[in-house]
């Protein structure tokens, strides 16, 4: 077995990738159960390190295309952008030839303190302007468009517009791409009682560059927390199928699993389910080609 080649291309998926986690990194190489089209990594977890984990990441990056999903940009923060951080992100993206860099439409730093979680931004017009300008600044600096993820949230804060208006306004104003996390839309629809299909139809679907899928946990009768710790449930697959059929083009799809990591066969089965949905929805691309 040649470890540098990884799973042969023929066995790999076409559309679906996996969030690369230290918890299963060794099994990922040794067992070759997962056959992703690509891997996704948070720059914060892999840049500026050496030793064992650097070797592991380099091995993964030699074998698979890498997409990147950031944690600490805090694009929605009142605080200034951290240019030193962005410089390192840029180096990381260049070093590993990473084609997609996405971040969360939220804030994780405020009053000069990192919070290590995603807080809800007030859906307000001044926030639209503020965030759009910051996204433009980031895009100019990185010399690429970035994809902004619709995050799950459990309470609005001082909203003067709907979530959908807020997202649409930012994507338009910033001229950025959208990371459509289907599970987050499901979670938000449940928590805030809106029609998720109408919500998705209302998004600028031509800007969707990337899709995320994950599991969640219902903690109260009327509240779901986006935990990434459970298998994806059927209604989320249904919404996913609805979504991919609405998109004007095929995009990469990611399975996120951060906690309560199961046997890799279980993750592979989830990826296969999504891959089959994608192939069915996007078969016209093969026909055209």
Partner 1 sequence: MNAQLHKFTQTQQSGFASYVRTGILPHLEGLTNNRVHHYRRLVFNVVNDSLQSAFPITHDLLEENDWEELIDNFFGTHACQSYQIWKMPFEFYEYVLNSKTKLEKKYPHLLDLLLFEWSEIEVYMMEDAELSHYNKRGDLLKDVILFNAEHKLLKLGYPVHLKNANEISRSDKGEFYVLLFREPETFKVRFVDLSVYFAWLIEEVKKKSQPLESILDEAEKIFPADKKTLLEKTIPFLNEMFERKFLAGFKK
CA atoms of 95 and 90, how far apart (whole Å): 8
Q: Strand 39-41 vs strand 253-256: parallel, antiparallel, or unpaired?
A: unpaired
**Shortest distance, CB of residue 154 to partner 1, whole angstroms?**
4
Binding segment for partner 1 among 109-117, 208-216, 231-239, 275-283 (CB under 8 A)? 109-117
> Which residues from 122-151 bind partner 1, rule CB under 8 A?
122, 124, 126-127, 129-130, 133-134
Asked if 283 touches partner 1 (CB under 8 A), the answer is no
Whole-angstrom Cα distance, residue 10 to residue 216?
A: 32
Q: How far is the CB of 44 from partner 1 (least distance, A)?
A: 5
Q: How big is the CA angle at 139 (ends 137 and 145), to the nearest 5 degrees?
A: 155
Minimum Å gap between C-beta 186 and partner 1 is 17
Number of residues binding to partner 1, judged by CB under 8 A: 51
Is residue 130 within 8 Å of 174, Cβ to Cβ? no
Q: Which is nearer to partner 1, 80 or 248 (CB)?
A: 80
Q: Segment contacting partner 1 (CB under 8 A): 117-125, 178-186, 261-269, 279-287?
A: 117-125
Find, among 176, 110, 179, 123, the residue nearest to 153 by Cα: 123
Closest distance of CB 225 from partner 1, Å = 6
Cα end-to-end span (Å), the chain: 34
Work out which of 4, 9, 51, 289 binds partner 1, going by CB under 8 A: 51
**163 with 196: CB under 8 angstroms?**
no
Q: Of the candidates 24, 92, 96, 107, which one interacts with partner 1 according to CB under 8 A?
A: 107
Cα dist from 19 to 26, 140, 278, whole Å: 14, 27, 18
Is residue 53 within the footprint of partner 1 (CB under 8 A)? yes
The residue from 112, 248, 288, 289 that contacts partner 1 (CB under 8 A) is: 112
**Per-residue tokens: 115:** 């919070």
Please give the backbone phi and psi of residue 32, each rounded to the nearest 5 degrees, phi first.
50, 40
Q: Give the residues lining the site for partner 1 (CB under 8 A).
A: 44-45, 47-55, 71-72, 76-80, 82, 85, 107, 109-117, 119-122, 124, 126-127, 129-130, 133-134, 154-159, 191, 219, 223, 225
């Amino acid at each position: 077995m040649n470890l540098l080649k990884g799973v042969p291309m023929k066995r790999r998926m076409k559309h679906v990738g996996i969030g690369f986690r230290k918890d299963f990194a060794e099994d990922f190489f040794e067992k070759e159960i997962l056959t992703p089209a690509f891997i996704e990594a948070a720059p914060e977890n892999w840049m500026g390190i050496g030793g064992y984990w650097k070797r592991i990441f380099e091995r993964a990056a030699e074998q698979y295309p890498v997409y990147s999903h950031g944690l600490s940009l805090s694009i929605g923060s009142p605080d200034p952008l951290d240019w030193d951080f962005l410089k390192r992100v840029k180096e990381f993206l260049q070093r590993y030839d990473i084609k997609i860099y996405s971040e969360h439409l939220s804030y994780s730093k405020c009053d000069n303190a990192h919070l290590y979680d995603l807080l809800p931004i007030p859906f307000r017009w001044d926030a639209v302007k503020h965030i759009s300008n910051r996204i433009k600044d980031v895009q100019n600096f990185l010399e690429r468009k970035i994809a902004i993820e619709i995050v799950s949230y459990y309470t609005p804060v001082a909203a003067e517009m709907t979530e959908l208006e807020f997202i649409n306004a930012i994507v338009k104003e910033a001229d950025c791409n959208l990371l459509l996390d289907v599970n987050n839309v499901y979670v938000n629809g449940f928590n805030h009682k809106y029609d998720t299909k109408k919500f998705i139809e209302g998004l600028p679907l031509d800007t969707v560059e990337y899709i995320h899928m994950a599991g969640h946990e219902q903690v109260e009768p009327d509240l779901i927390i986006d935990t990434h710790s459970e298998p994806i449930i059927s209604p989320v697959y249904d919404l996913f199928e609805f979504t991919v059929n609405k998109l004007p083009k095929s995009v990469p799809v990611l399975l996120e699993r951060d906690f309560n990591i199961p046997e890799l066969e279980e993750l592979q089965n989830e990826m296969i389910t999504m891959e089959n949905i994608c192939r069915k929805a996007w078969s016209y691309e093969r026909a055209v080609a």
